[in-house]
Structure 1
Amino acid sequence: MRSAFKTLSLINPKKSFQAYTETCVSLLKDFSDHGLITQGSVLHGHLVKVGVSSERYIAIKLLIMYLNSRKSAEVDELLREFNGFDLTVCNCVISSNVKWGNLDEARRLFDEMPERNEVSWTALISGFMKYGRVEESMWYFERNPFPNVVSWTAGISGFVQNGFNFEALKLFLRLLESGIMPNAVTFASVVRACAGLGDFGLGMSVLGLIVKAGFEHKLSVSNSLITLQLRLGEIDLARKIFDRMEKRDVVSWTAILDMYVEMGDLREARRIFDEMPERNEVSWSAMIARYSQSGYTEEALKLFHQMVQDGFNPNVSCFASILRALASLEALRAGMNIHGHVVKIGIEEYVFISTSLIDLYCKCGKTEDGRLVFDLVPEKNVASWNSMVGGYSLNGHLEEAEELFEQIPKKDNVSWNTILSGYLENGQCDKVFEVFHEMLLSGETPNNSTFSIVISACASIASVEKGKNLHGKIIKCGIQYDVFLGTALTDMYAKSGDIGSSKQVFNQIPEKSEISWTVMIQGLAENGFAEESLILFEEMERTSSVTPNELMLLAVLFACSHCGLVDKGLLYFRSMERVYGIKPKGRHYTCVVDMLSRSGRLAEAEEFIKTMPFQAETNAWAALLSGCNTYKNEEIAERTAKMVWELAEKNSAGYVLLSNIYASAGRWIDVSNIRKLMREKGLKKSGGCSWVEVRNQVQSFYSEDGNHSQSAEIYGILELLRSEMLEL
């Protein structure tokens, strides 16, 4: 401010009036552009004192400054000082009303004007387009007596902004036929229209016109061409255009950043982001969103804090992304702080924000708070409903989830998948099949995710017939295996004992994830193909970039245990932390105990348990006790059984195993004592269970079970078979 007045003080208005007014106009423009209304008002007072405030150019700049700041009293005062009609002044007032969204007032002023120029007409054409009133905009466009490139471009770009890309191209053809030369903004809008239509051939034709007109190096045109190539999947061409640009702005950098973000190449995206000379809210949001979606939640949070520290205001998309990241971390307190902030700035009702808040509260176990957010959303869309149904399911409130699901006005595929997933996660497989049938009757077409959920339900109850029927539907629908569906089918067949079909599906998965490999390795091991399981693990290490996880290494140890490769299993166990960076857990230690016990190395197994860094699981002692039973080692068995009793007072497994050891050694008095002790403690041996699938229904049977509805007929048939076998 001081510098501004110092500049003015050096100029004598009487001697250098033009230089003085030009400096005043320049200062007023700067104050107006930067919203410095206080400084502008001070300068206004100075100009009144000097006696030059009524000079037309200065008065117009003062008017624009007050219009931009919406100072209505000052605007009215200045308007009264203009004698008679002034076209430029009227255009300024019309443009400001358009900017504020007062379109009816702008039209009234336009209709009352005794004289209009191209600026007047273009203000209304672009204004109505900006607010989606396309027909009214074109009414003025068709009647415009001053058709120049600016008004044509206002119509073309307006069509593009409102999604009418085909109409924009038709208007562009009319422009070319009129003989008016398009400018850089026109070409940029036309390229965006081609991108919106996904028409590569037309885009290349427009590129030819751009080159012919000499606009290919214009910044706005280059940015639009990058967007076009990205929309059409021509990534290399987009990068070439970017690399050849002599000048780039934040739009150019953000477009190429977004390219790597969409490709999932986070490393290159971050490199581009760090190189950007200037960033905006869109570029920050793109990086934060991708980190959040890719599971790098802590990195997303760090970037969000840096963004705020650098003075950027997060947009709706950015807040939604950071809330999702906090939900993944179950960071309730931080999430509540963000909630408070979005309420303060008035964006809590945006559907992206409210959905993310519902997800946050439900993942933190605060279902009631999630429901409160849901109920406060004035206009719910299907994503809001799905999020709340998913929240109820996640916390085991299936009745509330089902009730809310029935209330969804228009269910989509995600709605059905959400409720199906809820039943699966809560072990209600019968409901999964029931709701899936309802989905088919409703006319909703299942997708890969739907089939993955229902196939997983088949795997949970080992219903191979249901699984095969669903597999047939998948093939009939022409659905291609993705990693989720392929993995679910692989798991279903493996758990049902059909290892051949499991391998066949596994081999057809296009890009196998760590879960896919784990399911196949585990399936082979559990179905008696332990050596093949280890071969597959070694193939995975050799041919893929997948890193073994905890479950996969557990399957490898299980395979080593069941094919007698004890030393190899011990080698894998010792390599877990050193090679794979995975700290062994209780179940890994238990698997090693089982491996040593199965091979008869009982003393080594007992010593291994004693050297564990934490208390051994009951199953570890039970595995050793089972080994003692196999190898008739009564001494270690007695010590082990005592540990089992201490760790599992209400578990009959240790007593049963020790009883079997005494029985195999002929120590019947000890067997009798063990059984007496079990009766005193109220322990019973859990009955064996078997099941068979008949007509898509799984029938379960226990020893001496009379609960089945047809138990009388079943036992009758068994007695008949028994009598016939005796006769043979």
Structure 2
Amino acid sequence: MFSTLFSINSRRNLKAFIRKSVNLLENYTKQKLINHGNALHCHLIKMGLSSQKYVAVKLLIMYLDSRKSFEIDQMLKEFNGFNLVVQNCLINANLERGNVTDACQLFDEMPERNEVSWTALISGLLKQGNVDKAMFYFERNPFSNVFSWTAAISGLVQNKLSFQAMRLYKDMLRSRVLPNDITFTSVVRACVDLGDLGLGRSVLGLVVKFGFEDNLCVSNSMVTFFLRLGEYDSAKKIFDRMEEKDVVSWTTILDMYFEMGDLREARRIFDEMPERNEVTWSAIISRFSQSGDAEEAVILFRQMIQHQFKPNVSCYSSVISALANLEALEAGKNIHAHALKIGMEMNVFIGSSLVDLYCKCGNTKDGRLVFDSLPEKNVVCWNSMVSGYSLNGQLAEAIELFNQIPQKNNVSWNSLIAGHLGNKNFAEAFEVFNEMILSGEQPNKSTFSSVLSASANLASLEKGKYVHAKVFKFRFHHDIFMGTALVDMYAKSGSIESSRKIFNRMPTKNEVVWTAMIQGLAENGFAEESLRLFEQMELTSSIPPNELILLSVLFACSHCGLVDKGLHYFNSMEKVYGIKPNERHYTTVVDMLARSGRLSEAEKFIESLPNEPEANTWAALLSGCKIYGEERLAERAAEKLSVAAEKKPGGYVLLSNIYASGGRWIDVMNTRNLMNQKGVKKSGGCSWIEMRNQVHMFYSQVEIHTFSKDMYWVLQLLNGEIQSYFT
């Protein structure tokens, strides 16, 4: 236990023996090894050394740290009369326990005080958040040196009073007290909190003037300062100039590259680090997981284990989240088993990640088992389970659990709204949104994105306007993502003028908003304007067209008869834009050719496709045949559509509709009989109308509306009135 102590002959070298005993007591105090300390104390009593001044002080500190009341009283008896060091220790112990009144009383009753006494009291009071009392003593401190000034400045920064800390720092300079490295570290942290770049640069000038530019802690704080304010070049210059770098230095610059989104450079920096610890490994695994590179996060976790580093809670949580995104259930189960083995499975953060893992892999049953096993659940854990049920279409379970959440936040509400949206319960999504507003919970951008999508799918202009008003009220109307959602909502609701206004007012436009506006114009019959906007995008922005934009362009060309122009854009997809066409692009080209009567060209185009065409492609050709009366080609297209329908049963519905539009009722009947044999069901037709801010939905051949009987009775009455009018 303390065998190295016995190697010293206490009679021949008493000073070395005492020095070693003091060192051991300090280590036992730091490591909380009170039993070891007790054993050493007993040995020192036997040797008559426990009352020796330095030994007694270290024993007292150890017992104060462990809060051993009996032993503290016994040690105090070892000191005859007033002892300044002992009094300072007692003041520190009381402050650490939060006994501010006792600490101040002890200090006030001291017959003499040194600079340690004053600094310890001021620093301790600030750590307890008692700023006013700390500053009261600071102003009366006779020892106006760098340590007392630094203690006050650091304490104010820790209490989020950075402005007051900077004023005190200026007073310190006026008092001609020179700062030290800890002073500068605290002052730079204050500049970070204030977000004042100019002030930070002024401090940097003084750092150089007073010769602290090579100090490791000060350099690290300056790198952090410039990083937090987005001055990446300045941060990198200081880092590159540092002669000495520690784990903190490397981790800070690593964070810089993550902030910049440069994952490749971040990985290069990590690989170059001469020293890594558990925190560094956890940080990079967490960052890769959060950045969406789940595979790299998992690879790094395996390397961490191979290098015999012990993962912490954050690391386990991050790698489980990465496996959830990869839907790697078996690997996740292995991590779960390891967490069980080391007793970390009850941790709420790991538990929340495990719930998310099982639910994303479609296993809500095991997710619920983990959820129920957690002794303590935070709101993240509740939200993970509600979101898991919603994701897997178990809305009844999601609603039941949602109602049990002790304290909901906007993520809780968003999970339920997203669940209704994912299950196409658009009206219900609005109901939950209204309940959220009434509860007093403030929506965020994710909330508005979901309800605007619900409004767009319902084509409910009134609901869309209501949500738009809320977006404006909560000051999200300048956000580019909200602007995009509003453009899409108004376009899908048929209010293309409102969509145009929002689009034109947006100061910056990304790929998504251009897509929404071009697509909205094309789908609302403004084909020529859609094409002009596409050309404007190519001329005025650096955004390259994507698959959806080019699909909208082809759709617009199809609907305004610009076949040659459409073919030009189609042929440019791979050559100019580097985008490989998909089935939807092929179908739109066939529709474009068929609409203009170029049916044989459309058939040749289909035959030249690299992959077997989808049912919609043949349906587009068949529709053109019907318009232009090409019966022979129609027969071939119908036969091909029938074959395509065998592989994609939804094609039967298309074929049935085509036969019905041509009056071929026997073929319709045969097709529907075949659908029944194959077990293919056509979803019922649905229409809706919005009245008094309420959407009324009607399905063909199904009477599910609350007032269905009353409506059909009125309809029957009207039919009777009409018939009597004409007879």
Q: Shorter-normalised TM-score: what interval?
A: 0.7 to 0.9
CA displacement, residues 186-222 of structure 1 (integer Å, 9 cap, x when unaligned): 626624633653543642542552586565461x333
Q: Secondary structure at the match of 1:407?
A: coil
Q: Secondary structure at the match of 1:691?
A: strand
Aligned mates of 1:419, 1:599 — CA distance in 2: 47
- What's the TM-score, normalizing by structure 1? 0.79
How many pairs align? 674
The answer to whether the Cα contact below 8 Å between 2:622 and 2:658 also exists between their aligned partners in 1 is yes
Matched, 1:230 2:196: no
Aligned mates of 2:714, 2:90 — CA distance in 1: 86
The answer to whether the Cα contact below 8 Å between 1:558 and 1:591 also exists between their aligned partners in 2 is yes
Matched, 1:91 2:52: no
Shift of 1:496: 0.7
Percentage of pairs with the same residue: 48
Cα distance, 1:621–1:320 mapped onto 2, change above 3 Å:
same
Given residue 437 of structure 1, which amino acid in structure 2 is its aligned partner? N
Matched, 1:114 2:111: no
Q: Secondary structure at the match of 1:626?
A: helix
Shift of 1:467: 1.8
CA displacement, residues 358-412 of structure 1 (integer Å, 9 cap, x when unaligned): 2222112221222222222222222221221111111111111111111111222
Shift of 1:330: 1.9
Aligned mates of 2:190, 2:168 — CA distance in 1: 13
Shift of 1:713: 1.6
Q: Pick from 12, 15, 19 the counterpart of residue 57 of structure 1.
A: 19
Aligned mates of 2:103, 2:109 — CA distance in 1: 10
Matched, 1:713 2:706: no
Cα distance, 1:682–1:182 mapped onto 2, change above 3 Å:
same
- What's the TM-score, normalizing by structure 2? 0.80
Cα distance, 1:675–1:401 mapped onto 2, change above 3 Å:
closer
Q: Pick from 369, 372, 384 the counterpart of residue 372 of structure 1.
A: 369
Q: Which residue of 2 aligns with 1:247?
A: 215
Task: Report which stretch shifted further, 402-411 or 611-620.
Answer: 611-620
Matched, 1:674 2:674: no
Q: Which residue of 2 aligns with 1:500?
A: 497
Aligned mates of 1:186, 1:253 — CA distance in 2: 30
Aligned mates of 1:692, 1:125 — CA distance in 2: 75
The answer to whether the Cα contact below 8 Å between 1:503 and 1:520 also exists between their aligned partners in 2 is yes
Q: Secondary structure at the match of 1:289?
A: helix
Q: Which residue of 1 aligns with 2:42?
A: 76
Cα distance, 1:209–1:185 mapped onto 2, change above 3 Å:
closer
Matched, 1:194 2:194: no
CA displacement, residues 339-363 of structure 1 (integer Å, 9 cap, x when unaligned): 3444444443333322222222211
Q: Secondary structure at the match of 1:193?
A: helix
The answer to whether the Cα contact below 8 Å between 1:462 and 1:496 also exists between their aligned partners in 2 is yes
The answer to whether the Cα contact below 8 Å between 1:382 and 1:410 also exists between their aligned partners in 2 is yes
Q: Which residue of 2 aligns with 1:178?
A: 141
Aligned mates of 2:698, 2:24 — CA distance in 1: 91
The answer to whether the Cα contact below 8 Å between 1:489 and 1:505 also exists between their aligned partners in 2 is yes
Aligned mates of 2:544, 2:147 — CA distance in 1: 50
Cα distance, 1:305–1:686 mapped onto 2, change above 3 Å:
closer
Matched, 1:636 2:602: no
Cα distance, 1:401–1:117 mapped onto 2, change above 3 Å:
farther
CA displacement, residues 2-37 of structure 1 (integer Å, 9 cap, x when unaligned): xxxxxxxxxxxxxxxxxxxxxxxxxxxxxxxxxxx7
Q: Which residue of 1 aligns with 2:530?
A: 533
Aligned mates of 2:579, 2:96 — CA distance in 1: 56
Aligned mates of 1:607, 1:463 — CA distance in 2: 42
The answer to whether the Cα contact below 8 Å between 1:449 and 1:485 also exists between their aligned partners in 2 is no
Q: Which residue of 2 aligns with 1:622?
A: 619
Given residue 677 of structure 1, which amino acid in structure 2 is its aligned partner? N
Q: Which residue of 1 aligns with 2:388?
A: 391
The answer to whether the Cα contact below 8 Å between 1:226 and 1:255 also exists between their aligned partners in 2 is no
CA displacement, residues 393-452 of structure 1 (integer Å, 9 cap, x when unaligned): 111111111111111112222222222221121112232233233333333343443333
CA displacement, residues 612-662 of structure 1 (integer Å, 9 cap, x when unaligned): 34332211211121222233322322111112112225624224425645x
Equivalent residues in 2 for 1:217-366, closer than 5 Å: 218=181, 220-235=182-197, 238=200, 245-248=213-216, 250-251=247-248, 254=251, 281-308=278-305, 312-366=309-363
Shift of 1:562: 2.8
Cα distance, 1:140–1:341 mapped onto 2, change above 3 Å:
farther
Q: Which residue of 2 aligns with 1:406?
A: 403
Given residue 180 of structure 1, which amino acid in structure 2 is its aligned partner? F
Aligned mates of 1:641, 1:148 — CA distance in 2: 100
CA displacement, residues 58-77 of structure 1 (integer Å, 9 cap, x when unaligned): 44335445666633534532
Cα distance, 1:433–1:660 mapped onto 2, change above 3 Å:
closer
Given residue 349 of structure 2, which amino acid in structure 1 is its aligned partner? F
CA displacement, residues 451-504 of structure 1 (integer Å, 9 cap, x when unaligned): 332232222211111222232344345554434433332222111100111222
Aligned mates of 1:705, 1:143 — CA distance in 2: 88
Shift of 1:278: 5.4
Aligned mates of 1:511, 1:567 — CA distance in 2: 33
Cα distance, 1:507–1:297 mapped onto 2, change above 3 Å:
farther
Task: Report which stretch shifted further, 189-198 or 691-700.
Answer: 189-198
Aligned mates of 1:333, 1:685 — CA distance in 2: 37
Matched, 1:420 2:417: yes
Aligned mates of 1:510, 1:52 — CA distance in 2: 80
Q: Pick from 172, 197, 203 the counterpart of residue 209 of structure 1.
A: 172
Aligned mates of 2:470, 2:121 — CA distance in 1: 50
Gaps of 5+ in 2: 217-245
Shift of 1:52: 3.7
Task: Report which stretch shifted further, 712-721 or 414-423.
Answer: 712-721
The answer to whether the Cα contact below 8 Å between 1:297 and 1:325 also exists between their aligned partners in 2 is yes
Cα distance, 1:155–1:442 mapped onto 2, change above 3 Å:
same
Task: Report which stretch shifted further, 350-359 or 55-64.
Answer: 55-64
The answer to whether the Cα contact below 8 Å between 2:551 and 2:588 also exists between their aligned partners in 1 is yes
Given residue 60 of structure 1, which amino acid in structure 2 is its aligned partner? V
Shift of 1:322: 2.9
Aligned mates of 2:202, 2:299 — CA distance in 1: 32
The answer to whether the Cα contact below 8 Å between 1:533 and 1:556 also exists between their aligned partners in 2 is yes
Cα distance, 1:221–1:282 mapped onto 2, change above 3 Å:
farther
Cα distance, 1:204–1:49 mapped onto 2, change above 3 Å:
closer
Aligned mates of 1:182, 1:226 — CA distance in 2: 20
Shift of 1:580: 5.5
CA displacement, residues 512-570 of structure 1 (integer Å, 9 cap, x when unaligned): 55433332232222112233334444544555565655444433433333334445444
The answer to whether the Cα contact below 8 Å between 1:653 and 1:685 also exists between their aligned partners in 2 is no
Q: Pick from 39, 47, 51 the counterpart of residue 8 of structure 2.
A: 47
Cα distance, 1:336–1:496 mapped onto 2, change above 3 Å:
same
Q: Secondary structure at the match of 2:695?
A: strand
Q: Secondary structure at the match of 2:558?
A: helix
Task: Report which stretch shifted further, 364-373 or 697-706.
Answer: 697-706
Aligned mates of 1:625, 1:388 — CA distance in 2: 48
Task: Report which stretch shifted further, 463-472 or 265-274.
Answer: 265-274
Equivalent residues in 2 for 1:647-686, closer than 5 Å: 647-648=644-645, 651-658=652-659, 660=661, 671=664, 673-675=666-668, 677-678=670-671, 680-681=673-674
